[in-house]
Amino acid sequence: MHFSDIANIFQGITSLVHSSWPMIAARLGLIVLGGVLVYYGRKGVLEPLLMIPMGLGMAMVNAGVLFLDPTTAAVVAKSTGGAVLADGTAQGTIMLAPFVERTDDLMYILQIDFLQPIYTFAFSNGLIACLVFMGIGVLLDVGFLLARPFQSMFLALCAELGTVATFPIAVALGLNFNEAASIAMVGGADGPMVLFTSLKLAKHLFVPITVVAYLYLGLTYGGYPYLIRFLVPAKLRAIRPVAHPVVKISAGEKLAFAFVAGSVLCLLFPSAAPLLLSLFVGVAVREAGLQYFTNMIENTILYGATFFLGLLLGVLCEASTIFNPKVLLLLVLGIISLLLSGVGGIIGGYILDVISGRKFNPVFGIAAVSCVPSTAKVAQKEVSAVAPDVIILPEALGANISGVITTAILTGIYVSLVPLMK
Amino acid sequence: MKLPFQPLLPWLPGPALALAGVMGVRWLAPLFAGRTQAIFLVVGYLLVPVGLAWFASRLGRRATQRAAAAAKPPA
């Protein structure tokens, strides 16, 4: 047996040593990062439902690089413009080829790569984002929003500061309008909407943008408490909200709101209509008492979509896919956007505090960042730390749900208007 | 005279305001250019959440009235 035969058996290692130094470092770095995501997912620091499949996918796709046979290598190279080696082979994986788009090539790759059918038929067309949104709709109780709509909506608009302000910052830093709008959406703190916007506006960057978004969303639970402590003194964090009588909103009223809000928003943003329909059909199914549908969406669809979303995001983090000079810029802009949204929400909280004569807890503002229900829970946790008997969660959830609606509005604005900008 | 659609009237201002926002964005704004167009767009986009919040507050008020009526002891 010749040495080259042994090298051919262990292609993962052979492909690694045959790569350039930056690519070796990127592959090993992403394997380690995958391990870190699994570790912190298991510890509960990051969202385990998403991070464990994502970390495992990220590690294994970078370990599982091999030499594709000449036919497959030619198909992939034609679509990606990548290089083919002298013997006709090329480095790649048999998990997913995200940049193959021509129908003939796609039909070939669909029979080779095991995750390609899910990617092509559920991910790259935004279906998976809509399915996750349907699940979020089923989990949302719009009654919290209906109890105090103006307050919730005002806070939610303030908490879009990052989504709005990051757009000109990103343009000033050299991104085009489509790329800038996609990364600005990270400030909306809503993964499916970032995925949807980047798929519509900047398909070439949707992998790094979505990965950056989900990584940062996982960090909101750990990072926002520091922002609250930095911006809101303990005395103000302990403000007890004015007690309002508990109002029971009937299912019919919630259903009416879902119908009117969904229809008006679709009229305004037809390009975001699939996402809006998914959200409000979830709300409608819940409020109409369709228990079989509720169970199916809440258990099967939401968890199934989240699992494949995490796995696909991990697998898409193959070094050659994610190796883009803009990634560092996206990392910086993503954190700016999320930070500004948090600051905007708290500014909104301060404005209401002043208007109400110092009776409004500014921490409510952070809950208007639409990462349901993480930011509402963070707000309650921070208030409980200084005033254990103060309960703000129900009202915070109202602001949280308004945040989902305002982020959907911002998605619609960007998806509709940015393509018109020259 | 009581019109047949009278019970619907109190519910209409919110959705009507939101629809006015939609019309402002989709039909009126394209008729103008530059700063006027930007004003129509901003006002239109803001009217939609305000209209929805108005409709939501009407629903909330209805729930409050119902709760108050239920809590009132029978005469």
The domain segmentation of chain A, as residue ranges, is: 3-115, 127-420
> In chain A, what residues touch B51 (CB-CB under 8 Å)?
264
Residue A141 has pLDDT above 90, yes or no: no
Higher pLDDT, residue A77 or A176: A176
Could you read off the pLDDT of A211-234 as tens digits, one per residue?
888 888 877 777 899 999 999 999
Nearest CA to A366 out of A355, A380, A354 is that of: A380
Q: Do A264 and B19 touch (CB under 8 A)?
A: yes
A192 exposure class (CB count in 10 Å sphere: 0-12, 13-18, 19+): buried
* pLDDT at residue A266 tops 80: yes
pLDDT at position B65: 82
* Mean pLDDT of the A297-305 span: 93
Q: Do A268 and B67 touch (CB under 8 A)?
A: no
Closest CA to A193 of A379, A374, A373, A371: A371
- Alpha helices by DSSP H, listed for A296-369, are 302-316, 319-322, 327-355, 364-367
C-alpha B38/C-alpha A151 separation (Å) is 26
Residue A396 has pLDDT above 70, yes or no: yes
Mean pLDDT of all residues in A203-208: 84
Domain count within chain B? 1
Residue B31 lies in a domain: yes
CA A373, CA A381: separation in Å to the nearest integer?
12
Phi, psi of A68 (to 5 degrees): -70, 150
Res A305 pLDDT > 90 = yes
Residue A160 binned pLDDT confidence (cut-offs 50, 70, 90): very high
Nearest residue, CB atoms, A249 vs list B26, B49, B63: B63
Using 50, 70 and 90 to split pLDDT, how confident is the model at A292? very high
Q: Give a yes or no: residue B30 inside a domain.
A: yes
- Domain extent for B44: 14-60
Taking CB atoms and an 8 Å cutoff, what residues of chain A touch B56? 145-146, 149, 153, 257, 261
Q: How confident is the model at residue A1 (pLDDT cuts 50, 70, 90)?
A: low
Residue to mutate among A148, A151, A268, A409, with most B CBs inside 10 A, is A268
- Of A265, A267, A406, A421, which to mutate for an interface test with B (greatest number of B Cβ within 10 Å)? A267
pLDDT above 90: residue A283: yes
Question: Residue B21 falls within a domain, yes or no?
Answer: yes
For residues A373 and A233, what is the distance between their CA atoms, to the nearest angstrom? 24
With pLDDT > 90 as the criterion, what percentage of chain A qualifies? 44
Q: Measured between beta carbons, which residues in chain A are less than 8 angstroms from residue B48?
A: 264-265, 268, 409
- Residue A282: per-residue pLDDT: 94
* Helix, strand, coil tally for chain A in percent (to 5): 75, 0, 25
The model's pLDDT over A178-201, given as tens digits with 9 standing for 90+, comes to 999 999 999 988 888 898 899 889
pLDDT at A8: 74
Tell me the torsion sign for CA atoms A45, A48, A54, A58: positive
Helix (H) or strand (E) holding A90: strand A90-92
Check whether A325 has a pLDDT greater than 80.
Answer: no
Whether the ipTM is more than 0.85: the answer is: no
Q: To which residue do tokens 């708290």 refer?
A: A346
B2 vs chain A: nearest CA distance in angstroms? 24
Task: Say whether pTM exceeds 0.90.
Answer: no
How far is residue A100 from each of residues A27, A109, A161, A320, measured CA to CA in Å?
A: 22, 8, 37, 14
Residue the block writes with tokens 């503002």 = A365
**Per-residue pLDDT at A178:** 93
**B53 inside 8 A of chain A by CB:** yes
Please report whether residue B32 resides in a domain.
yes
For residue A420, the Cα-to-chain-centroid distance in whole angstroms is: 25
Report residue A101 as tokens. 């788009």
H or E element at residue A412: helix A393-417
Give the model's pLDDT for residue A7.
67
| Predicted confidence (pLDDT) at residue A150 exceeds the cutoff of 90 | no
Cα A261-A262-A264 angle, rounded to 5 deg: 65
Mean pLDDT of A129-150: 88
- Which of the pair, A385 or A101, is modelled with greater confidence? A385
Q: Above 70 in pLDDT, residue A347?
A: yes
Q: How many CA atoms lie within 13 A of A25 on its CB side?
A: 4
> Can you tell me the distance from the alpha carbon of A97 to that of A65, in angstroms, rounded to the nearest whole number?
12
pLDDT at A145: 84
Mean pLDDT, residues B24-50? 85
Distance CA A200, CA A184 (A): 14
| In the predicted structure, residue B73 carries a pLDDT above the cut 80 | no
pLDDT range class, residue A384, cuts 50, 70, 90: very high
Mean pLDDT of A409-415: 86
The Cα–Cα gap between A390 and A234 comes to 13
The pLDDT, as a whole number, for residue A3 is 63
* Cα–Cα dist A336/A47, whole Å: 21
CB–CB contact B14 A260 (8 Å): yes
Give residue A405's pLDDT.
Answer: 85
pLDDT at A253 over 80: yes
SS3 A341: helix
**What percent of chain B is predicted at pLDDT more than 70?**
93
> Looking at the domain assignment, is residue B7 inside a domain?
no
Average pLDDT over residues A143-170: 91
Q: How far is CA A382 from CA A152, A204, A222, in A?
A: 19, 39, 12
Q: Give the mean pLDDT of chain A.
A: 88
Give the closest-approach CA distance of A261 to chain B in angstroms: 6
Which pLDDT value is given to residue A116? Answer: 93
CA A394, A189, B51, A284 dihedral sign is: negative
In degrees, rounded to 5, the angle at the alpha carbon of residue A212 between the alpha carbons of residues A207 and A216 is 150
Question: Quick one: pLDDT at residue B75?
Answer: 59
Q: Which of B15, B63, B66 sits opposite A260 (nearest CB)?
A: B15
Q: pLDDT value at position A287?
A: 92
What confidence score (pLDDT) does residue A189 get?
86
Residues 6+ apart with CB under 8 A from A237: A228, A361, A362, A363, A382, A383, A385, A386, A387
The whole-angstrom separation of Cα A158 and Cα A368 is 8
Structural domain contains residue B1: no
The pLDDT-based confidence of A334 (bands split at 50, 70, 90) is very high
